[in-house]
Amino acid sequence: MISCNILRRIGKPAAAMQGSNALSAYPGVSETMDLQNLRRSLEPALRRMFHFYWRFARGMTLGVRAVVLDGENRVFLVKHSYVDGWHLPGGGVETGETFRDALQRELQEEGRIELTGKPALHGLFFNGHISRRDHVAVYLVRHFRQDRLPEPNREIVGCGFFDVGALPAETTTGTRLRISEVIEGREPVATWR
């Protein structure tokens, strides 16, 4: 697995993480852990609040995600700071933006991935567990260039290419479904999960 993570960014060896007080060796990590716990507790309420706002600001929410496969058939996943689990890279389609433009922007922001060929539309999915108005377009991307992995930032705390048979345990259900549909050549289901 190729990955980016916060520990690499601060330059401490992984061995230093062993032991009961290992995190105390990293300035700010305990505060970060407290913020992560706070975020997890507030996440459901914040999601409802944002979707309540979007109900009036936008008639429907649209998103894009990509199943990005490298030459070894490994899939690119990201881990966000504001939501649990590993996800396909992607995000919202902004007003006046095409799906392809949104896909290109999100892949660049989350993975430093530049499209070098035309992505194939895998399917359109109703994401009802988020909102009754949320829909996601998923593309298959095989032709791309990535000069390097992005540095961890406030949005993306981890990313990398993973063997499809050894995905991280925290990979979300919807992400696993989209990957298996693409790899196994199965017909996509209509809902995200």
What pLDDT, in 10s, does the model give residues 65-104?
999 999 999 999 999 998 999 999 999 999 899 999 999 9
Residue 174 pLDDT grade (very low, low, confident, very high; cuts 50, 70, 90)? very high
- The burial of 90, by beta-carbon neighbours within 10 Å (0-12 exposed, 13-18 middle, 19 or more buried), is given as buried
pLDDT of residue 30: 57
pLDDT band per the 50, 70, 90 thresholds, residue 61: confident
Least confident of 16-20, 136-140, 144-148, 169-173: 16-20
pLDDT at position 118? 97
Write down the mean pLDDT value for the chain.
82
In a domain, 128, yes or no: yes
Of 166, 175, 4, the residue nearest 72 (C-alpha):
166
Total domains in the chain come to 1
Instruction: Tell me the Cα Rg of the chain.
Output: 17
Query: Smallest Cα–Cα separation from 88: which of 96, 77, 100?
Result: 77
Higher pLDDT, 47 or 124: 124
Contact 159, 79 (CB under 8 A): yes
Provide the 3-class DSSP secondary structure of residue 6. helix
22 within domain boundaries: no
Question: Is 125 part of a structural domain of the chain?
Answer: yes
Which H or E element spans position 114?
strand 113-115
pLDDT for position 56: 63
Q: How confident is the model at residue 21 (pLDDT cuts 50, 70, 90)?
A: very low
Residue 154's CB: how many other CB atoms inside 10 A? 8
The Cβ of residue 84 has, within 10 Å, a number of other Cβ atoms equal to 13
Tell me whether residue 34 is in a domain. no
State pTM to two decimals.
Answer: 0.72
* pLDDT of 32: 57
Average of per-residue pLDDT across 115-144: 92
- What is the C-alpha separation between 139 and 5, in angstroms, rounded? 26
The pLDDT of residue 5 is 44
Residue 111 lies in a domain: yes
Range of the domain at 174: 2-8+59-184
Structural domain contains residue 39? no
Write the CATH number for 158: 3.90.79.10
Give me 147's structure tokens.
């000069």
Is residue 43 in a domain? no
Starting at the earlier edge strand, list the strands of the sheet with 90-92. Answer: 90-92, 61-68, 134-141, 120-126
pLDDT for 12: 34
Position 42 scores a pLDDT of 80
In a domain, 54, yes or no: no
Distances (CA, A) of 150 to 77, 97, 104, 145: 12, 24, 15, 13
